[in-house]
Amino acid sequence: MDMSGGHDHAAMMQGMGKSAAWTLYPTLKARMSGESRETMKTAVVPQNIVTANIDAWSNNLKDVNVYRQLPVDMGGAMLDKPANGGFHWLSAREEEGETVRVASTVYPFNERGAKDPTAMFMQQKHELEIIPQPFPREHSRYRANEDWQFLVRFNGRPLPGQKVYLETSNGSMAEFVADAQGVVKVHVPDDFKAETERKGTGGHNHGMRRSAELVLATEHADGGKTYLTAFNSSYGPNAFEKRSLAMGLGFTLLGMLGAVPLLRQRKAEPKSEETGNA
């Protein structure tokens, strides 16, 4: 598969000119900036793809702003949080000669009462698509050593037997094949290396969680054209990193033992169950 066909327009732009060094597939990198939560902005930076606009779909299909074209400038395309929040589908398309390349990703603005994004995800946006089934919801994300499903389709029709390639910024590569329904089950590789402890970052600081990037890509030829579509997202370490199941079970057992005296029948206990003090 030729993945290097596109020249890096983003790389030519000052300030955002970094190609995704870990992959040659087209990707969209969302970056948050701003001092406080209220003033935070999201810039979407296209990588390995030439585009003047980022297409953005909000999950509220009835909204007049359900589809927006965000112009790409020096800092990328600015994605502001709409009133209804929710999940956003972002994509960039590049057509050069007989090659069509698409980068896509999902950006979630967590919001109470946001619409179910499933219908928006399933709406056809490009010829060749990779669609998460589902995308991780709030308090969840892609994590190493987990299986997640994606639908691969062309012009709205599933592509059974389609090959999907995975690359991660940690250096892993893998290949998966879609089933008869065009659904591919992707195993996220457990490829995080042990890190040195960062003091003071704590266990619940969303901004400091370990994270890596993954991209899924697939290619399909039709009508004399070659279509390459990629879907990228971030993922975290496996669920049991810095956790101990053995110690967890041990402390649970300890607690259980602590309650065992409550189970003992008292000798002088009358038939009615109401005696005895906790």
Partner 1 sequence: MLKTIFPTLGRIRFTVQILMLFLTVYGGALLGSYTVDRISQALPALSCAYDKMTGDHCILIVNQHQLHHRVGEALVKAQDITLKVFIPVAMSVGVFFMFFFFLNKAFCGWVCPLGTVQELLYRIGRRLGRPLNRFTPANVGRVRPVKWLMLLVLVLALPTLAGMGVVSNELGDPFCQVCPSRIATTLLTADSEQIAVRTSTGVNFFLGALGNAMFGFIVIAALAARQPFCRICPLLSWNALFQKLSPMRLVKKDVHEKCAKCGVCEKACPMDIHEIGTEFGKKAFHEDCTLCGRCAEYCPDDDVIQLKFFGLRIFASSREHYKRRVKAETPEGAPKKRFINIRFDKPKSEDD
Interface positions with partner 1 (CB under 8 A):
36-38, 86, 110-118, 134, 137-140, 197, 200-205, 239-240, 242-245, 247-249, 251-260, 262-266, 269, 272-278
Q: How far is the CB of 228 from partner 1 (least distance, A)?
A: 28
Specify the length of the chain in residues: 278
Handedness of CA 45, 50, 53, 58 (dihedral sign): negative
Q: How far is the CB of 201 from partner 1 (least distance, A)?
A: 7
Give the nearer residue to partner 1 in terms of CB position, either 21 or 262: 262
* Distance, CA of 274 to CA of 24 (rounded, Å): 72
**Amino acid letter, 42:** T
Give the nearer residue to partner 1 in terms of CB position, either 21 or 254: 254
Q: How far is the CB of 209 from partner 1 (least distance, A)?
A: 11
* Distance, CA of 133 to CA of 184 (rounded, Å): 10
Give the nearer residue to partner 1 in terms of CB position, either 157 or 199: 199
Q: What are phi and psi of 83, to 5 degrees?
A: -60, -35
Closest of 2, 40, 8 to residue 221, by C-alpha = 2
Give the nearer residue to partner 1 in terms of CB position, either 210 or 225: 210
Q: How far is the CB of 63 from partner 1 (least distance, A)?
A: 16
Give the nearer residue to partner 1 in terms of CB position, either 71 or 203: 203
Peptide bond just before 270 cis, omega within 30 deg:
no
For residue 23, the SS3 value is coil
Q: How far is the CB of 191 from partner 1 (least distance, A)?
A: 19
